[in-house]
Amino acid sequence: MEQDAQLVQQCLQGDGSAWEELVRRHTRRIFNICYRFTGNRTEAEDLTQDVFLRVYRTLGSYRSAHGGFATWMTSVTRNLLIDHYRRTKRDRVTDSLDDAMPVVETKESVARRPDEQALLGELSGQVQSALTRLSPELREAVILRDLQQLEYVEIQRVLEVPEGTVKSRINRGRIELARILQQMGVRPA
Amino acid sequence: MTWTCEQTEARLSDYLDGLLDGAEWSAFNQHVNTCAVCTPLVSSVAHTLGGLYALEQVDPPPQLETRILLATVGVARSKFDFSAWLRSFLSPRFVYATVSVAATMALLLTATGFNWRKPKLADLAPATVYRRADSTIHVTYARSVKFVSDLRVVYEIQSRMNEGDQNPAMREETIPQSSPKKNPGQTDNTNPSAPKQQNRATDVSKRLEVLACEFPIWSGSLVDRREQ
């Protein structure tokens, strides 16, 4: 975290390599948040680029006293994702459990048997598909807590809501996700 | 402490995250174990949480960082990644190509007589390589000729041809009336005083007769033509 703050300071002083290092350190995490929220790689790529563009333009407004750079960046990401959700709401087809064709994800090469890898890929696709059916406020809470492993306090800062609301959203999000998966006939083991 | 279904649903995440105190945890468990509604709910949410934790990080495309840098600072000033550069040499295609080239070079150098035990830079001079290659080719050719000559089949054919030369039934005129007078150094029945051309003609005639013996049907005409 301190290293991030130092890199930000160097960026503000015009050090291009410091910005490059920040991009290298956070691209993967931001891309994953965007991907889990949208369920679409292309959209996730574009949104990740937009996040970094906004961060680059507003870097001067970051204050380390208000929290870590990663939390601040996650907050920027969340705002952009909500904007994106609202912008594309009209274009989106109404969610239906029948049209969900879970996409098998391509993940890092982990030493698994091919059948295990295939099953896991299928399950991941189904969980991802169910995730995109959650309402955006529940989805972001679940993603930040269960996929990004953020603490309640950090989520509270990102979402700018009271801790009780954070807990409630996470709880409702998990229960809703379980119901969606059950309706899809999936039972994660 | 009594626990209701509403409480169970409201505190489910606290239970799963281990945030309930001892009394709450006991009451929660006591209720869930006896409630037909809450048992499947807790089970399905717990399994869903397992499914979420099993989701792995997705790799962003490699060009995304470059895209971001181009969109922000305008230039992708990526550092030279030495380890990535080294890793690129471990690709199967590169390794296969390298081994193939090395094996080909080793074969060519060995064929030109390059001494691997005492390698010298002078051995790689074009003139030396040519001379050795030429010598190697000739030696190899001579060895292969000798090998073919030593083959049993070839030996048998030569023996039969020689037998044909000495078979009295084949050529009546070749039956010696008396023991021919042999001169030192003379190994056949030819007259050393005769011209060389005549010796060759006689030799060809002998060969044709042997063939006539082996293939009487079609080679008879050859012999007849020869005699004419």
User: B45 near B12, Cβ under 8 Å?
Assistant: yes
Whether the CB of B54 is below 8 Å from some CB of chain A: the reply is yes
Whole-number CA gyration radius for chain A:
18
Contact A181 B61 (CB under 8 A): no
Tens digits of residue pLDDT in A118-130: 666 677 888 888 9
* pLDDT number for residue B135: 86
Contact B56 A124 (CB under 8 A): yes
Contact B45 A174 (CB under 8 A): yes
pTM for this prediction: 0.56
Tens digits of residue pLDDT in B115-164: 788 887 777 888 888 888 888 889 889 999 888 888 888 888 888 888 87
% of chain B beyond a pLDDT of 70: 67
The mean pLDDT values, 10 residues at a time, for chain B of 228 residues are 87 91 90 92 91 87 91 68 70 85 87 78 82 86 88 84 71 52 53 55 60 52 49
Contacts A179 to B, Cβ<8 Å = 44
Contacts A27 to B, Cβ<8 Å = 60, 64-65, 68
SS3 A92: coil
**Residue ranges in chain A modelled with pLDDT below 70:** 1, 90-121, 187-189
CA distance A106 to A102: 13
Question: DSSP letters along chain B, please?
Answer: ----HHHHHHTHHHHHTT-S-HHHHHHHHHHHHH-TTHHHHHHHHHHHHHHHHHPPPPPPPTTHHHHHHHHHTSS------HHHHHHHTTSHHHHHHHHHHHHHHHHHHHHTT--SSS--GGGGSHHHHHHHHHHHHHHHHHHHHHHHHHSHHHHHHHHHHHHHHH-TTT-GGGS-SSPPPPPTT--SSS-TTS-HHHHHHHHHHHHHHHHHHHSHHHHHHHHHHHH-
* pLDDT number for residue A119: 60
Q: Which residue of B has its CA nearest to A139?
A: B52
* pLDDT number for residue A188: 55
Domain boundaries, chain A: 1-94, 111-189
Relative orientation angle of helices B196-214 and B152-166, to the nearest 10 degrees? 100
* pLDDT number for residue A45: 94
* CATH of A111-189 given 1.10.10.10, 3.20.20.80, 3.40.50.300, 1.10.3720.10: 1.10.10.10
Contact A20 B60 (CB under 8 A): no
Contact A146 B72 (CB under 8 A): no
ipTM greater than 0.85? no
Q: Residue A55's closest CA among B56, B203, B69, B226?
A: B69
Contact A108 B61 (CB under 8 A): no
- Lookup: tokens for B210: 């042997």
- Of A45, A107, A188, nearest to B48 by CB-CB distance is A188
- Lookup: tokens for A52: 């970094």
Topology of A1-94 in CATH? Answer: Rna Polymerase Sigma Factor; Chain: A (1.10.1740)
User: A128 near B54, Cβ under 8 Å?
Assistant: no
